Amino acid sequence: MSREQLVVQRARKSFQTGKTKPLEYRIHQLKSLHRFVSERRKDIADAVKKDLHKSEHGTELFETLGLENEINLAVEKLAEWAAPRPVEKNLLTISDEVYVQPEPLGVVLIIGAWNYPWAVTLQPLVGAIAAGNAAVIKPSEVSPHSAKAMEELLPLYLDKDLYPVVTGGVSETQELLKHRFDHVFYTGSSAVGRLVMEAAARHLTPVTLELGGKSPCYIDKNCDLAVACRRITWGKFVNCGQTCIAPDYILCEPGIQGRVVEEISKSIKEFYTDNPKSFEDYGRIINQRHFKRVMALMEGSTVVIGGDSDESQCYIAPTVLKDVTAESKVMQEEIFGPVLPIIAVSGVDEAIQFINEREKPLVIYVFSPDNKLIRRVIAETSSGGLLANDCLVHFTVNTLPFGGVGNSGTGCYHGRHSFDRLSHLRSCLIKKLNMEGVNSMRYPPHTASKLGWARFFILRRVNLGRLGSVALLAVLAALAAFVAQRFSQ
Ligand code: NAD
């Protein structure tokens, strides 16, 4: 039996004991996860420093703060999320109990990506624990220091059987995917997303795919360009451009291209000094393979800012390319690096058309003082999310569902959305054995008169919420008596 099979079996066996059903148990595990984050901050920061050259404060801001927020919210709201959810009833069910009961799915497989190795792996885990599932956690092998730290340290805090960490690369992930899970939560590229979905389909296992793609950023010429470009510079170059929701490229009118370049240049200096290479808050490309990939994307384009690099350190300076066209190499795939192309469009009409001719992005950014223009972009395009006049921060609002659409992903999470995504929302209807008369209309023989009553009971919309329960029962009793009498004749 392979290690992966053993781990999955153990997780399932442990789940089947029913241990995760009580909310107190889940809360206890969530609090342990919180304790892990606060006690192991230094270990987490050291690992991320080795993987991505991120500073300690940077790691806290971008990796663990959001995680702590998600845990705190889940602990606070779990009782509310897990409670039965009464739903509106129709005339046929007025005296019944009709509600939705969230229940755990079973064993969830979480496959994480390397760019924010802790956040994208452990945030789905918060949802999995809250919803009462077991979860097999597979961190990305591309960020090896974080994966190793997770494998060594997480079991010191969480139940080892229910929440095991499995490290390894493609073959280990493929081995895991041969087994049956009750949900697969994958974060990574669209290409691998397809393989994950295919493997899950063999077991009819539902998936959440948190993918990437090219997220456009439209800048209206009437913007305060200094503010807009500072926010864009921050969103693009944080983590050395390796952010799934980083603005991938800028669309703007040719008349403002010069000022956009100027303002971005100022912001780069403001954030990362004249020498980003030796500045502690400027990151590195994860490995040489990605370094070469990003460098090759620049071929054939005009560099107006940055462009210098050092392969030995996987360093690429914050770079801006101008006069890029749809045919340029850099426009053929998600950049996922510190390279920002500017494409000239004649205005918002052409920007919308440009966006709509391509795959649906994970997010669309629009910078404009004009609310009407913003609403127009919302109405005439589609994407996982839309953020106006800022970058990235929609990720931090845990009441907003976070996820893609089409090529940028399927399913969403954060806050209650994670809980719902990783729960089965079970429909429950509890009837009593009395009031049999009302049922006569559905029993054979089927007659025109019975059908008429069925039409009345099923199609009639009444606002039952406005009637008190005594009035409701009175209405029901009268109807039942009437129907029973009709059909007994
Ligand atoms: P990656 O190489 O770390 O792969 C992700 C996971 O898939 C890893 O755990 C890896 O082991 C596994 N994997 C790789 N190849 C596989 C295969 N052939 N079969 C089975 N499993 C395999 O990450 P990546 O794909 O380079 O990640 C970058 C992409 O992820 C970008 O497109 C980015 O936009 C996207 N991303 C999306 C989000 C989001 O929340 N939507 C977050 C982070 C990253």
The residues, ordered by sequence, that sit 6+ positions from 400 with a Cβ below 8 Å of its Cβ are: 385, 394, 414
pLDDT band at 480 (very low <50, low <70, confident <90, very high): low
- For residues 337 and 470, membership in a common domain is answered with no
Q: Are 215 and 361 in contact (CB under 8 A)?
A: yes
Tell me how many degrees the CA angle 226-229-231 measures, rounded to the nearest 5: 110
Phi then psi dihedrals of residue 324, to 5 deg: -75, 150
Q: Tell me what pLDDT residue 477 has.
A: 62
Structure tokens at 255: 């008349």
Tell me whether residue 407 is in a domain: no
Q: Tokens for 462?
A: 């009444």
Same domain for 144 and 23? yes
Q: Which of 467, 330, 419 is nearest to 131 (CA)?
A: 419
Between the CA of 141 and the centroid of ligand 1 the distance, in Å, is: 10
Tell me: do 123 and 225 sit in the same domain: no
Flag the least confident range among 59-68, 259-268, 478-487.
478-487
Specify the pLDDT at position 155. 98
What's residue 485's pLDDT? Answer: 62
Does the residue 430 lie in any domain?
A: no
* Residue closest to 219 by CA, chosen among 248, 257, 165, 181: 257
Residues 185 and 91 in one domain: yes
Q: Name the closest-CA residue to atom 3, ligand 1.
A: 113
pLDDT of residue 488: 52
Task: Give pLDDT, residue 53.
Answer: 93
- From CA 79, how far away is CA 73, in angstroms rounded? 11
Residue 194 shares a structural domain with residue 240: no
Q: How far apart, in whole angstroms, are the C-alpha atoms of residue 228 and residue 225?
A: 5
The phi and psi torsions of 109 (rounded to 5 degrees) equal: -105, 125
Residue 36 belongs to domain with CATH number: 3.40.605.10
Instruction: Decide if pLDDT at 487 tops 60.
Output: no
Q: State residue 461's pLDDT score.
A: 74
pLDDT digits (tens, 9 = 90+) for 64-120: 999 999 999 999 999 999 999 999 998 889 899 999 999 999 999 999 999 999 999
| Whether residue 179 is found in the same domain as residue 123 | yes
Within this chain, do residues 252 and 112 fall inside the same structural domain, yes or no?
no
Confidence of residue 468 (pLDDT cuts 50, 70, 90): low
How many domains, in total, are found in the chain?
A: 3
Quote the pLDDT of residue 479: 65
Is 408 contained in some domain? no
Q: How far is the CA of 192 from the centre of ligand 1 (A)?
A: 7
- Name the domain boundary from 376, 394, 425: 425
Q: Which strands, in side-by-side order, build the sheet including 385-388? A: 302-305, 319-324, 339-344, 249-252, 216-219, 363-367, 385-388
Task: Determine whether 244 is an active site residue.
Answer: yes
Q: Which of 70, 210, 263, 334 is catalytic?
A: 210
Six-digit token pair at 480? 């039942």
User: Is 410 contained in some domain?
Assistant: no
What's the CA-to-centroid distance between 329 and ligand 1, angstroms? 22
- Ligand 1 surroundings by CB, under 6 angstroms: 111-115, 120, 138, 140-142, 169-170, 173-174, 187-189, 192, 195, 210-212, 244, 334, 336, 362, 404, 409
pLDDT digits (tens, 9 = 90+) for 213-253: 999 999 999 999 999 999 999 999 999 999 999 999 999 99
The Å distance, Cα 41 to ligand 1 centre, comes to 24
User: What percent of the chain is predicted at pLDDT more than 90?
Assistant: 91
- Closest by CA to 318, choosing from 348, 378, 277, is 277
Q: What's the pLDDT band for 474 if we cut at 50, 70, 90?
A: low
Tell me the best of 189, 238, 243, 245 to mutate to test the pocket of ligand 1, counting ligand atoms within 8 Å of each CB and taking the most: 189
Query: Within a domain: residue 394?
Result: yes
**Tens digits of per-residue pLDDT, 343-360?**
999 999 999 999 999 999
Average pLDDT over residues 160-178: 97
Atom 14 (ligand 1) nearest CA: 170
Looking up tokens 């390397």 gives 114
- Asked whether residue 409 is domain-assigned, the answer is no
Cα dihedral sign for 144, 307, 230, 404? negative
Is residue 269 scored above 90 in pLDDT? Answer: yes
| Distance from Cα 114 to the centre of ligand 1, integer Å | 7
pLDDT for res 393: 97
Buried b (16+ CB within 10 A) or exposed e, 56-77: eebbbebbbebbebbbebbbee
Tokens representing 451 are 């059908």
Domain range for 463: 435-488
Asked whether the predicted pLDDT for residue 478 surpasses 80, the reply is no
Residue from 136, 148, 170 whose mutation best tests the ligand 1 pocket (most atoms within 8 A of CB) = 170
Together in a domain, 257 and 390? yes
* 214 CB-near residues (< 8 Å, 6+ apart): 248, 249, 331, 333, 334, 335, 358, 359, 361
Task: Tell me what pLDDT residue 1 has.
Answer: 83
Which among 217, 229, 240, 244 is annotated as catalytic? 244
Q: Which amino acid, residue 105?
A: L
Per-residue pLDDT, averaged over 42-51, amounts to 97
| 314 annotated active-site | no
Residue 101 lies in a domain: yes
**What pLDDT score does 466 carry?**
58
Mapped to the 3 state alphabet, what secondary structure does the chain carry? CCHHHHHHHHHHHHHHCCCCCCHHHHHHHHHHHHHHHHHCHHHHHHHHHHHHCCCHHHHHHHHHHHHHHHHHHHHHHHHHHHCCEECCCCHHHCCCEEEEEEEECCEEEEECCCCCCCHHHHHHHHHHHHCCCEEEEECCCCCHHHHHHHHHHHHHCCCCCCCCECCCCHHHHHHHHCCCCCEEEEECCHHHHHHHHHHHHCCCCCEEEECCCCCEEEECCCCCHHHHHHHHHHHHHHHHHCCCCCCCEEEECHHHHHHHHHHHHHHHHHHHCCCHHHCCCCCCCCCHHHHHHHHHHCCCCEEEECCCEEHHHCEECCEEEEEECCCCHHHCCCCCCCEEEEEECCCHHHHHHHHHCCCCCCEEEEECCCHHHHHHHHHHCCCCEEEECCCCHHHHCCCCCECCCHHHEECCECCHHHHHHCEEEEEEEECCCCCHHHHHHHCCCCCHHHHHHHHHHHHCCCCHHHCCHHHHHHHHHHHHHHHHHHHHC
Residues 172 and 222 in one domain: no
pLDDT at 77: 98
Same domain, 322 and 398: yes
Q: For residues 402 and 414, is the Cβ–Cβ distance under 8 A?
A: yes
Average per-residue pLDDT for the chain: 95
- On the question of pLDDT at 149 being above 60, the answer is yes
- Tell me, yes or no, whether 279 and 205 share the same domain: no
Is residue 380 scored above 80 in pLDDT?
yes
Residues 240 and 365 in one domain: yes
> Does 76 map to a domain?
yes
> Distance between CA atoms of 484 and 6, rounded to whole angstroms?
59
Domain containing residue 311: CATH number: 3.40.309.10
CA atoms within 13 A on the CB side of 488: 9
- Judge whether residue 475 has pLDDT over 90: no
